[in-house]
Chains A and B, each alone.
Chain A
Amino acid sequence: MRRTLFEGITHAALTEAPPRPDEAALAELAANVNRAARARLGRSLSIRQVDAGSCNGCELEIHALNNAFYDLERFGMRFVASPRHADVLLVTGPVTKNMREALLRTYNATPAPKWVVAVGACAVDGALFGGSYAVVGGVKDVIPVDLHIQGCPPSPTDLLKGLLALVEACSS
């Protein structure tokens, strides 16, 4: 263990320079994010992830945000265990009919001001799963969405660009 820890001190960090915030996301957020809410939250955001029906591909890449290369916490963002602690809901998946109620309850349990980020192609409009008897559609068909991050799944860099745009919009 000592050798591993020692190397951590002597080797250069793996953490990479942040990407620039996504321009399209900044534009979408400028229209959506309330100015009063920005003042209250500053640059620190607590994120609650909700899988509303995904294939778990998006979850894998959201997990990767915590690894040494992307290190999400350096930007003041962290994942929390309860919607009651959250400022942001990061929602994945086409919303299934079986998860619709749970998503609504999670949204209602999140204190205002709050934002919803829909992650992945399915969360935008249901993608491949649209039209199924068991699927409602995109996240916006159930709760209001402030930002969409595209991709199947979005790469950690895509996720970071979107989330940095959110921090930017919240603190400007």
Chain B
Amino acid sequence: MATSDTHGLWAQAIGRLADGECTLLGLWADGDVVHMALLDRGCRIDRVSYRCTDGSYPSVGASHAPALRLERAIRDLHGLEAAGSPDTRAWLDHGVWPTSRQGAAPADYKFLPAEGEGLHQVPVGPVHAGIIEPGHFRFTANGEHVVRLEQRLGYVHKGIESLMRGADLDRAANLAGRISGDSTVAYAFAFALAVEAATQVAPPARAVALRGVASELERLANHFGDIGAICNDASFALMHAQTSILRERVLRAAGACFNHRLMMDVIVPGGLSRDIALDGPAALRTLIAEVRKIFPRLVELYDSTASLQDRTVTTGIVKPEYARRFGAGGYVGRASGRDFDARRDLAYAPYDRLRFDVPVLEAGDVNARVWIRIREVEQSLSMLEQLLDSLPPGEVRTVFTTQGASEGLALVEAFRGDVLVWLRLNADGTVARCHLRDASWFQWPLLETAIEGNIIADFPICNKSFNCSYSGHDL
């Protein structure tokens, strides 16, 4: 990992992004320094930094669109301007904080124009019709067909990164576990890895294996929930009812193992806060057997129901070119040909010793995103078995003290894609600055492209096939 402060390298990095030589992993500010994390073709992570002398830095978004919203967020939260950016509208700031800028209020927000005969706008949200997080969608439609969708997010911004500042590691880990409840394990994992990278601490082998167990349980629960919910948005309630049962069984097994259904606060810097329950492994074996019995039948049901396929095949296509350029993680990227999975390509423990395949498809439609999830369920079951077969004995937590100021970065594959955590620790072990970037940052913009030309009535199914996090994005 290289850190630099020279302006030449910043310009060079922008050029590499624009040429498609590398992928943008994150863009964030720390005081008057802006950091950029890049992933090159050899899956090496580079960091390039720019120290702002006059409160501004050369815009990355001007030549690489995926950076635009990140730059708007940096401006809202840190006051640093992206010089030359084509989009200077507020993003997370809705004009109601003590630190809000002039013109950030929703009434002053200018949605991008769409012109043409017979176009009309449909505003949706922030409060939606289902049990779902808040956000605003502005559709411009011609009859039923969507000409443009533009999102306005930031409604659940809680100021988490500012709460992290000065927090001790326990409190910071609790906050990291509440960035996005559905990915609490992945966030706690990424936070712990970043702290361990900064402090050179190694967690015990048993904790490493159990981190894998918790991560794959979280992936299973979410994939079951998503597969059912996507089918439910095509009014195929039978699938939803069946996968909801599987999801509940996963959560109950997780609760039996770690005393919390979503496994919050289980992974901590240095290892785990608790060992797996004595009867946990047996509960997981029962779960795996149950899923193996039921799930193949549901997959067949999905594959053989023509009325359902009619709704998912060729709906909401994400072009492979966009998935690559935006570095879309998870099923959104892998359903559109982007062959990346942090578990395989960065091979962090315990995945360095597990055998698994990373499914990749090219079609990029709702159907492909369902199939990626189906294949990943099968892989997760196999990984769980491998982990249980060789669960090391011993302690689950390494007690450590921080020595001196330090920095760490980690990338973890959550169910929806890679989560990035970068942090800088003070000498006393408190957090000086912590940035957490959800996979949703690079998926939300692709949803805008996927819905174009589809009918408004297909938006829920497209949206559910992405299942982006609002809270993870809004922070």
Q: Do A and B bind each other?
A: yes
Report the separation of the CA atoms of residues A128 and B163 in the bound assembly, to the nearest whole angstrom: 9
- Provide the residues of chain B in CB contact with A1, threshold 8 Å: 238, 301, 304-305
Report the separation of the CA atoms of residues A132 and B154 in the bound assembly, to the nearest whole angstrom: 15
Flag if B133 contacts A51 (CB, 8 Å).
yes
Report the separation of the CA atoms of residues A54 and B225 in the bound assembly, to the nearest whole angstrom: 19
Within 8 A of A (CB), among B80-129: 92, 94, 96-99, 126-127, 129
Flag if B131 contacts A62 (CB, 8 Å).
yes
Flag if A50 contacts B181 (CB, 8 Å).
no
- Provide the residues of chain A in CB contact with B244, threshold 8 Å: 64, 66-68
Flag if A96 contacts B158 (CB, 8 Å).
yes
A4 within 8 A of partner (CB): yes
User: Of A63, A69, A83, which contacts B245 at CB under 8 A?
Assistant: A69
Flag if A54 contacts B156 (CB, 8 Å).
yes
Flag if A56 contacts B247 (CB, 8 Å).
no
B175 within 8 A of partner (CB): yes
Flag if A132 contacts B158 (CB, 8 Å).
yes
Flag if B131 contacts A94 (CB, 8 Å).
no
Flag if B133 contacts A57 (CB, 8 Å).
no
Report the separation of the CA atoms of residues A131 and B242 in the bound assembly, to the nearest whole angstrom: 42
The segment out of A17-25, A27-35, A99-107, A162-170 that lies at the interface is: A99-107
Number of interface residues of A (CB under 8 A): 49
B427 to chain A, nearest CB (A): 25
Flag if A50 contacts B175 (CB, 8 Å).
no
Flag if B248 contacts A55 (CB, 8 Å).
no
A74 within 8 A of partner (CB): no
Flag if B471 contacts A102 (CB, 8 Å).
no
Flag if B156 contacts A53 (CB, 8 Å).
yes
Interface of B is mostly: loop
| Complex: chain A residue closest to B179, CB-CB | A55
Report the separation of the CA atoms of residues A62 and B244 in the bound assembly, to the nearest whole angstrom: 12
Interface of A is mostly: mixed
Interface contact tally, CB-CB below 8 A: 141
A104 to chain B, nearest CB (A): 11
| Complex: chain B residue closest to A47, CB-CB | B131
Report if A69-B96 is in contact (Cβ < 8 Å); known contacts: A51-B132, A134-B158: no
Flag if A81 contacts B130 (CB, 8 Å).
yes
Report the separation of the CA atoms of residues A83 and B133 in the bound assembly, to the nearest whole angstrom: 15
Flag if A134 contacts B159 (CB, 8 Å).
yes
- Provide the residues of chain A in CB contact with B132, threshold 8 Å: 51, 59
Flag if A57 contacts B156 (CB, 8 Å).
no
A5 to chain B, nearest CB (A): 7
Report if A54-B159 is in contact (Cβ < 8 Å); known contacts: A14-B245, A69-B245: no
User: Of A54, A64, A153, which contacts B133 at CB under 8 A?
Assistant: A54
Flag if B182 contacts A135 (CB, 8 Å).
no
- Kindly name the residue among A57, A101, A135 whose own CB sees the greatest number of chain B CB atoms within 10 A: A57
A116 to chain B, nearest CB (A): 14
User: Of B127, B159, B179, B301, which contacts A135 at CB under 8 A?
Assistant: B159
Report if A134-B97 is in contact (Cβ < 8 Å); known contacts: A14-B245, A56-B133, A128-B174: yes
- Provide the residues of chain A in CB contact with B158, threshold 8 Å: 53, 94, 96, 129, 132, 134-135
Report the separation of the CA atoms of residues A152 and B181 in the bound assembly, to the nearest whole angstrom: 10
Report the separation of the CA atoms of residues A157 and B157 in the bound assembly, to the nearest whole angstrom: 29
- Provide the residues of chain A in CB contact with B179, threshold 8 Å: 55
Report the separation of the CA atoms of residues A161 and B137 in the bound assembly, to the nearest whole angstrom: 35
Report the separation of the CA atoms of residues A159 and B132 in the bound assembly, to the nearest whole angstrom: 17
Flag if B247 contacts A67 (CB, 8 Å).
yes
Within 8 A of B (CB), among A135-158: 135, 152-153, 155
Within 8 A of A (CB), among B412-434: none
Flag if A4 contacts B301 (CB, 8 Å).
yes
Within 8 A of B (CB), among A85-106: 93-94, 96-102, 106
B340 within 8 A of partner (CB): no
B403 within 8 A of partner (CB): no
Flag if B155 contacts A99 (CB, 8 Å).
yes
- Kindly name the residue among A52, A54, A81 whose own CB sees the greatest number of chain B CB atoms within 10 A: A54
B469 within 8 A of partner (CB): yes
| Complex: chain A residue closest to B249, CB-CB | A69
| Complex: chain B residue closest to A120, CB-CB | B181
A31 to chain B, nearest CB (A): 28
- Provide the residues of chain A in CB contact with B126, threshold 8 Å: 99, 102
- Provide the residues of chain B in CB contact with A82, threshold 8 Å: 129
Report the separation of the CA atoms of residues A42 and B329 in the bound assembly, to the nearest whole angstrom: 49
- Kindly name the residue among B94, B171, B247, B298 whose own CB sees the greatest number of chain A CB atoms within 10 A: B94
Flag if B155 contacts A81 (CB, 8 Å).
no
- Can you pick out 10 interface pairs between chain A and chain B where the beta carbons lie within 8 Å of each other? A51-B133, A55-B178, A55-B181, A57-B182, A59-B131, A69-B248, A79-B130, A93-B156, A129-B158, A135-B159
Which 3 interchain pairs have the tightest Cβ spacing?
Answer: A57-B181, A134-B159, A81-B129
Q: A4-B298, A133-B97, A134-B97 are in contact. List 11 more A-B contacts (CB 8 A).
A: A5-B238, A51-B132, A59-B181, A67-B247, A69-B245, A96-B157, A128-B163, A129-B160, A133-B99, A152-B178, A153-B262
